[in-house]
Chain A
Amino acid sequence: MVDTFLYIALFAISIAMSGLIYRVVKGPSVPDRVIALDGLGINLVAVVALLSILLRTSVFLDIILLIGILAFIGTVAFAKYLEKGEIIKRDRNL
C-alpha cells in the first residue's frame, strides 16, 4: 500500500523533472537554464528520499544533504559568473 503511493510520487516527480529538462534545453536565456538545473537538483533530493523509503534503508540520507550543499554551491558559482564575469576574484575591493 505504501509502495503504491511511493511509486505515484516518483512518477509525479519524474514528470516535474522532465518539465525542468524541457526548460534546460529550450530556455531562451542562461539564467533560465541555471534555475532549471537548481530545480533538478532539488527534485533529485526528493527522488533519493523516496528511494531510500522504498528500499527500507537509511544509508542514503547523507546523500540528501550532500546534494543540497552541492546544488547551492553550484548555483552560487554560476550566479557570480553571470554577474561579475569571473567566479573567484583575486581582490574584491578593487
Chain B
Amino acid sequence: MKTNNVILETATRILLFIILVFAIDIFFAGHYYPGGGFIGGLIFAGALVLLLITYDIKTVAKFLPFNYLVVIAVGLLFAVGTGIGGLLFGKAFLTHWFTYVDFPILGKLSLHTAVLFDIGVVLVVIGTAMAIIQTIGESD
C-alpha cells in the first residue's frame, strides 16, 4: 500500500525556509553574538536532512545538484585563500582586515575578511554532514 504523507510535505515546505533563515542569521551574527560558522552550517545541514526525510535522495539530488565532496574542497579553498590574502600584502599568514562601509538601506556595516574564513567553515561543515548522511542513506 502506498502511504500518502501530505501533511509532512506541506509542513516541510513552510518549515524549511524558517530553518534556512535561522541558519543564515546564526551565521552572520557570529561576530557579535553566539553563533558562527560551525553551528550555522549544522543547522543548514539539518534543514537539508529534513528535506531528505520528507522526500527522497533522487528528488533532493535533482533539487540541489551539488557534489558535496566538491563543496568541502571549495570551503577549504576559502579558508586557505583568506590566509594567503594576508601573505600577499606583506603581513603574517591569516592576517585579517576590516572596514566600515555605509550601505544605503542597511546603514553602517563592518565588513571583515574573517567572514570569508567563516564561509569556508560553513561549506566544510555542510559538505561533511551531507556527505556522511547521503553515503549512509544510499547503501542498502
Q: Mark B58-74, 1 if CB is under 8 A from A, else 0.
A: 11000000000000000
B93 interface hit (Cβ, 8 Å): no
| A65/B22 contact (C-beta < 8 A), A77-B53, A89-B57, A91-B58 known | yes
Q: How many residues of A contact B (CB 8 A)?
A: 19
CB contacts (< 8 Å) of A87 on chain B: these are: 53, 137
Chain B interface SS verdict (over half): helix
Q: In the complex the two chains form, is A69's CB within 8 Å of B57's CB?
A: no
Distance in angstroms from A75 CB to nearest chain B CB is: 11
Chain A interface SS verdict (over half): helix
Distance in angstroms from A81 CB to nearest chain B CB is: 10
In whole angstroms, how far apart are the Cα atoms of A89 and B133 in the complex? 12
In whole angstroms, how far apart are the Cα atoms of A72 and B39 in the complex? 17
Q: Mark B34-69, 1 if CB is under 8 A from A, else 0.
A: 110001000100100110111111110000000000
Q: In the complex the two chains form, is B49's CB within 8 Å of A62's CB?
A: no
CB contacts (< 8 Å) of A73 on chain B: these are: 46, 49-50, 53
In whole angstroms, how far apart are the Cα atoms of A87 and B49 in the complex? 10
B33 interface hit (Cβ, 8 Å): yes
A92 interface hit (Cβ, 8 Å): yes
Q: In the complex the two chains form, is A88's CB within 8 Å of B19's CB?
A: no
| A76/B53 contact (C-beta < 8 A), A65-B22, A69-B43, A88-B133 known | yes
Q: Which of A76, A80, A83, A91 has most chain B Cβ within 10 Å?
A: A76
